[in-house]
Amino acid sequence: MLDSKTQSGEDSLHLSQAETDAILATVNEQLGLKSFNPDDQELLKQMIESMGDARGMVRLSFAEALGKVGKPATPLLMEAVANHPNPVVRRASAKTLTLIADPIAVPTLVNALLNDEDTVVKTSAVGGLAKIGEAAVPALLKILASTEYPESAKGHAVWALGFIGAEAKEHLYREINSDSADVRAAVVGAIAKIAEEGTEEGAFHILVNALTDSSLMVRCEAASALGSLAYQPAIPNLVELLHHADWETRKAAALALMKIGDRAALEPLQAALTKEEEAGVQAVIKLAMSQIERQLEEDSW
């Protein structure tokens, strides 16, 4: 790895490791004594520059210190994420913004997620968006609705929405009617996280309704979620999907019924099997029946 003098690029403050250690000691002392001046722009810049140090623990120590400084450090961290030539500093700055969770950083973090060449910067940026929470939700949904952004960025956005969970519920409930199937599928996944918390019965209703969505992706996402949540009231709706025209939807319904594991699904599964012509779906239905029967036997003990 490059030493601290060269790895930060030509705009670097050219701090040696000894200088970096001295800055860290000073910062920690001031924070401990509560005498740190958050308006000291030069010191904040030195702290950010020091996150290009070759030593991981030193970078972490500066990130934690900046996290304690909080929102006064946000503008300089945003500048570093957006423009610093050293990816190590950009990564650490994005991670530090995650600690601070200042909503004003949302546009900068979105830009990093979509445009930075470094994959670690991208993942650090989406972590920051997830930690910021509700204020980041509109931007995340905009990524999902766009046809311009890569699937990797959309995958990150889906993860962030799931992490935010119930805090984003008002946005999510509204976007379940989005024109974009990608958005609806992501919303279903995020709502599943809310349902898992058990505080929103409305979340389950949305998941059940999504079983009849016009998009295969949304239907399968909803079926998978209801199966993982073992939501027994959804059994009649999933049974109905066993006769859907699309074979992947039928397969998803059978898998969901298997996960729920209720005796009430056995007869409908058997009836569906007699009519099923797709070999892959037949295999899944047989597996579902076998698993449910095995579980019932185990429960009887």
Q: Is residue 53 part of a domain?
A: yes
Averaged over 21-33, what is the pLDDT? 95
DSSP codes of every residue in 53-118: -S-HHHHHHHHHHHHHH-GGGHHHHHHHHHH-S-HHHHHHHHHHHHHH--GGGHHHHHHHHHH-S-
Q: Is residue 141 part of a domain?
A: no
Averaged over 40-52, what is the pLDDT? 95
User: What is the pTM (predicted TM-score) of this model?
Assistant: 0.76
Of the candidates 119, 68, 57, the one whose C-alpha atom is nearest the C-alpha of residue 94 is: 119
More reliable by pLDDT, 111 or 203: 111
Residue 292 tokens, joined:
């449910």
198 CB-near residues (< 8 Å, 6+ apart): none
Q: Are residues 43 and 125 in the same domain?
A: yes
Asked whether residue 7 carries a pLDDT value surpassing 50, the answer given is no
Q: Are residues 198 and 275 in the same domain?
A: no
Q: What is the mean pLDDT of the chain?
A: 91
Q: Are residues 67 and 119 in the same domain?
A: yes
In angstroms, rounded to a whole number, what is the distance separating the alpha carbons of residues 90 and 50? 12
What percentage of the chain exceeds 90 in pLDDT? 75
Averaged over 287-300, what is the pLDDT? 88
Query: In this predicted structure, what is the pLDDT of residue 1?
Result: 31
Q: Is residue 143 part of a domain?
A: no
In angstroms, rounded to a whole number, what is the distance separating the alpha carbons of residues 168 and 270? 40
Number of domains in the chain: 3
pLDDT bucket at 13, cuts 50 / 70 / 90: low
More reliable by pLDDT, 297 or 124: 124
Query: In this predicted structure, what is the pLDDT of residue 12?
Result: 46
Averaged over 78-106, what is the pLDDT? 96
Of the candidates 173, 242, 162, the one whose C-alpha atom is nearest the C-alpha of residue 205 is: 173
Asked whether residue 112 carries a pLDDT value surpassing 90, the answer given is yes
Domain span at residue 293? 235-300
Asked whether residue 5 carries a pLDDT value surpassing 80, the answer given is no
Query: In this predicted structure, what is the pLDDT of residue 300?
Result: 63
More reliable by pLDDT, 174 or 126: 126
Asked whether residue 200 carries a pLDDT value surpassing 50, the answer given is yes
Q: Are residues 244 and 280 in the same domain?
A: yes
Q: Are residues 223 and 240 in the same domain?
A: no
Residue spans of beta strands (DSSP E) within the chain: none
64 CB-near residues (< 8 Å, 6+ apart): 99
Return the axis-axis angle of helices 247-260 and 279-300, rounded to nearest 10°: 10
More reliable by pLDDT, 14 or 224: 224
Q: Is residue 29 part of a domain?
A: no
Q: Are residues 220 and 174 in the same domain?
A: yes
Query: In this predicted structure, what is the pLDDT of residue 103?
Result: 97
Averaged over 17-30, what is the pLDDT? 94
Asked whether residue 269 carries a pLDDT value surpassing 90, the answer given is yes
CATH number at residue 193: 1.25.10.10
Q: Are residues 252 and 219 in the same domain?
A: no
Residue finishing a domain among 189, 206, 229: 229
Residue 102 tokens, joined:
């200042």
